[in-house]
Amino acid sequence: MSDAFHAGEHDARMQEAQGEKSEPMVVIEQLVKRFGKLEAIRALTMTINAGETFGLIGPNGSGKTTLIRMLVGLTHPTSGTIRILGERVPSAQVAPLLGYMTQASALYLDLTARENMAFFCNIYGLRGPMQRQRIAEMLERVDLADRANDVVGTFSGGMKQRLSLACALVHQPRLALLDEPTVGVDPELRRTFWNYFAQLNREGVTIIVSTHHLDEATRCTRLGLLRFGNLLALDTPQALLQRSAKSDMEEAFLYFAHQEVLA
Ligand SMILES: Nc1ncnc2c1ncn2[C@@H]1O[C@H](COP(=O)(O)OP(=O)(O)O)[C@@H](O)[C@H]1O
Ligand SMILES: [Mg+2]
Residue 21: predicted pLDDT: 56
pLDDT digits (tens, 9 = 90+) for 177-206: 999 999 878 889 999 999 999 999 999 999
The structural domains of the chain, ordered by start, are: 3-262 (3.40.50.300)
Residue 8: predicted pLDDT: 44
Q: What does the DSSP assignment read for 53-81?
A: EEEEE--TTSSHHHHHHHHHTSS--SEEE
Q: For ligand 1, is residue 64 a contact (CB within 6 Å)?
A: yes
pLDDT less than 50: residues of the chain: 1-19
Locate all alpha helices (DSSP H) within 73-147, ordered by sequence: 113-123, 128-141
Ligand 1 pocket test: which of 32, 33, 35 has the largest number of ligand atoms within 8 Å of its C-beta? 35
CA pair distance 214, 130, nearest whole angstrom:
38
Amino acid, res. 11: D
Picking from 190, 168, 184, 221, the residue whose alpha carbon sits closest to that of residue 57 is: 221
Q: Counting ligands in written order, which one lies closest to the CA of residue 181?
A: 2
What is the model's pTM? 0.90
CA pair distance 145, 224, nearest whole angstrom:
35
Ligand 1 pocket test: which of 32, 38, 42, 75 has the largest number of ligand atoms within 8 Å of its C-beta? 38
Picking from 213, 138, 144, the residue whose alpha carbon sits closest to that of residue 176 is: 138
